[in-house]
Amino acid sequence: MSSQLIIASTFLLAMILSVVSLPQSAPIEVAYVRPEWITLVLIYWVIALPKRIGMRIAWIIGMLTDVLLGSLLGQHALIYMLVAYISYTLYQRLRMMSIWQQSLFVFVIILLSQILNFWAVRITGVVEWTSWYFLPSVISSLMWPWIFMSLRSVRRRFNVI
């Protein structure tokens, strides 16, 4: 199977997971437990295949995420480009790190993207800062080892290079 298709389907799965509706009886704070699936997948592919997945792909994914979540067009595109840029400049170092050190990196990156997201929404609308905004980065960094290992097994299984 062509490797583009594999990469595209992981992104597609991440998008589905980031909009799948929660049970309506769940308390509203449960929504903050959702990891940043798309950012995690993006970071993985940039580290794994820096020659193929770069800022251009990040921009396209970001635009699609923007329409999917109804945010401003370009908001996620810009943030994902930044994420891809940082991951790309550090990919050689990141590959050397242990998986828990990578988790720490993921924590910082996702916190940064959360703050940028909050700024963009703050400028254009009415939102208040709550400490709940820290939760997705914590959850995402805890999810990272599993995301990393499953995507690596997918990459090896289908020989994506």
Partner 1 sequence: MVDHWTSWLELVRASLTTVVTPVIVAADFPAKTLEYLSVATSTRKALIQEITRLDQTHLLLRAQTQKMRALTAENNRLRILLGSAEKSQDNVVVAELIGIDPDPKTHEVIIDKGAVNGTFIGQSILDAQGLMGQVISVSRYTSRVLLISDPSHSVPVQVARSNLRLVAQGSGATSHLNLMFVQNSADILAGDLLISSGLGGRFPAGYPVAIVNKFESQLGNPFAFVTAVPSALLDRGRYVLLVFTEDNQYSPSEKFYDKNLD
- Contacts of residues 54-62 at CB distance under 8 Å and 24 or more positions apart, as own/partner, are 54/84, 54/88, 55/81, 55/84, 55/85, 55/88, 57/84, 58/83, 58/84, 61/11
Q: How far is the CB of 67 from partner 1 (least distance, A)?
A: 4
* 160 token code pair: 């994506």
Q: How far is the CB of 20 from partner 1 (least distance, A)?
A: 4
Q: Give CA–CA dist 109/28, Å, rounded.
A: 25
Q: Give CA–CA dist 17/38, Å, rounded.
A: 9
Q: How far is the CB of 98 from partner 1 (least distance, A)?
A: 31
Q: If binding is defined by CB under 8 A, does position 18 make contact with partner 1?
A: yes
Closer by beta carbon to partner 1, 55 or else 121? 121
Q: Give CA–CA dist 80/63, Å, rounded.
A: 9
Q: How far is the CB of 83 from partner 1 (least distance, A)?
A: 18
Residue owning tokens 């959360």: 114
Residues 102-141 touching partner 1, rule: CB under 8 A, are 121, 124-127
Q: If binding is defined by CB under 8 A, does position 32 make contact with partner 1?
A: yes
- What does the DSSP assignment read for 55-75? HHHHHHHHHHHHHHHT--TTH
Q: If binding is defined by CB under 8 A, does position 28 make contact with partner 1?
A: yes
- Chosen residue from 24, 98, 131, 159 binding partner 1 by CB under 8 A: 24
Closer by beta carbon to partner 1, 98 or else 125? 125
- Residues forming contacts to partner 1 in the complex (CB under 8 A) are 12, 15-22, 24, 28-29, 31-32, 34, 63-64, 66-70, 72-74, 121, 124-127
